[in-house]
């Protein structure tokens, strides 16, 4: 039995001391593949370095397969200097391992960057998604309805809403647009009863598993650095919500990742 972590930030400095060890831990538990998701230009370069190191190893049989996604996160839209869009285009075209454009989206919570600037940056990245025929990894916080507005006007776009926290109606609307719902450690927390009820109503063939490591640990690892090996807690909770076996949910979410991202399923 294997699973795919569709959202992890492997380039983060907190992983520098033991990155290969945590990847081996993940593989030993059954994590067959990980999507390393970028959020800003400096992170894109770090992702590339990590990927080059891993793929330069003579034996990678004890490691998960690593795939890449690049995007400018809505929290970071005011920071880049120079032609970030050209740099993003370069990264998206530079490796077979690129499977998505993300993490991109909109965040309308208080204290976030100017909404008009966020929208301009997001619209530019939608153009790249179409140019490269890549699925989107969407960040959505208090912005679900605006994101749906974009998707309804560009119905050929596809992707996943990462770490979904919206309403049942919004989840259903994203599914109607052909999008997947990303499920992480948030559903494992005691106070997440509303979120669990929302996720329980999402069709099983539109769910994806993720950790968001090193961020957003589940209840069993509260206060710790999150890592891909912890994804099994999320899987167990998700299987219970949908009244199915862990094996069945692992197989279905892996198949969903294959459908969206073209990731090979490895059950070794």
The domain containing residue 221 runs over which residues? Answer: 3-261
Nearest to 35 by CA among 212, 187, 188: 212
Say if 50 falls within a structural domain: yes
Neighbours of 103 (CB within 10 A): 27
Q: What percent of the chain has pLDDT over 90?
A: 95
Q: Is the pLDDT of residue 268 over 70?
A: no
Say if 267 falls within a structural domain: no
| pLDDT-based confidence at residue 2 (cuts at 50, 70, 90) | very high
CB 163 within 8 A of CB 7: yes
Quick one: average pLDDT of 57-76? 97
Rounded-to-integer distance, Cα 213 and Cα 234, Å = 12
The three-state secondary structure class of 120 is: helix
Residue 63's DSSP bridge partners are none
| pLDDT-based confidence at residue 267 (cuts at 50, 70, 90) | low
**The two three-digit tokens of residue 79, written as one number:** 């920071």
Which residues in 28-54 are b (16+ Cβ under 10 Å) and which e? Answer: ebbbbbbbbbbbbbebbebbbebbeeb
Q: Where do the DSSP E strands lie in the chain?
A: 3-8, 31-37, 65-70, 98-107, 136-141, 159-161, 180-183, 207-209
CB 46 within 8 A of CB 5: no
Q: Is the pLDDT of residue 67 over 70?
A: yes
Say if 140 falls within a structural domain: yes
Contacts of 268 (CB under 8 A, 6+ apart): 2, 32
Say if 215 falls within a structural domain: yes
CATH number of the structural domain spanning residue 227 = 3.20.20.140
- What domain count does the chain have? 1
Cβ burial of 262 (10 Å; 0-12, 13-18, 19+) is exposed
**The two three-digit tokens of residue 233, written as one number:** 């807690």
Say if 224 falls within a structural domain: yes
Say if 250 falls within a structural domain: yes
**The two three-digit tokens of residue 133, written as one number:** 């025929």
Neighbours of 78 (CB within 10 A): 12
pLDDT (tens digit per residue) in 72-114:
999 999 877 779 999 999 999 987 899 999 999 999 999 999 9
Q: What is the pLDDT of residue 262?
A: 95
Which residues in 231-248 are b (16+ Cβ under 10 Å) and which e? Answer: bbbbbbbbbebbeeeeee
pLDDT (tens digit per residue) in 158-188:
999 999 999 999 999 999 999 999 999 999 9
- What separation in angstroms does the CA of 1 have from each of 31, 214, 238, 251, 255? 9, 24, 16, 8, 12
pLDDT (tens digit per residue) in 208-265:
999 999 999 999 999 999 999 999 999 999 999 999 999 999 999 999 999 999 998 7
- What separation in angstroms does the CA of 205 have from each of 134, 177, 201, 257? 20, 14, 12, 10
């Amino acid at each position: 039995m294997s699973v795919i972590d569709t959202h992890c930030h492997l380039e983060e400095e907190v992983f520098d001391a033991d990155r290969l060890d945590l990847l081996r831990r993940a593989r030993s538990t059954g994590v067959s593949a990980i999507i390393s998701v970028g959020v800003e230009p400096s992170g894109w370069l770090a992702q590339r370095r990590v990927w080059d190191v891993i793929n330069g190893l003579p034996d990678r049989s004890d490691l998960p397969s690593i795939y890449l996604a690049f995007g400018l996160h809505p929290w970071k839209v005011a920071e880049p200097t120079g032609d970030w869009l050209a740099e993003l285009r370069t990264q998206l075209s530079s490796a077979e391992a690129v499977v998505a454009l993300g993490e991109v989206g909109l965040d309308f919570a208080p204290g976030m960057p100017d909404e008009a600037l966020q929208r301009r940056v997001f619209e530019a990245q939608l153009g790249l998604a179409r140019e490269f025929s890549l699925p989107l990894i969407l960040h959505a916080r208090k912005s679900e309805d605006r994101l749906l507005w974009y998707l309804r006007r560009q119905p050929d776009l596809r992707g996943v809403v990462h770490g979904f926290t919206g309403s049942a109606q919004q989840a259903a609307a994203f599914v109607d647009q052909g999008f997947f719902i990303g499920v992480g450690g948030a559903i494992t927390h005691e106070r997440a009863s509303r979120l669990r009820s929302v996720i329980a109503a999402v069709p099983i063939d539109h769910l994806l598993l993720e950790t968001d490591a090193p961020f957003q640990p589940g209840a069993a690892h509260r206060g710790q650095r999150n890592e891909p090996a912890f994804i099994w807690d999320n899987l167990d909770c998700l299987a219970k919500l949908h009244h199915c076996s862990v094996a069945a949910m692992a197989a279905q979410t892996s198949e969903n990742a294959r459908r969206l991202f073209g990731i090979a399923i490895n059950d070794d």
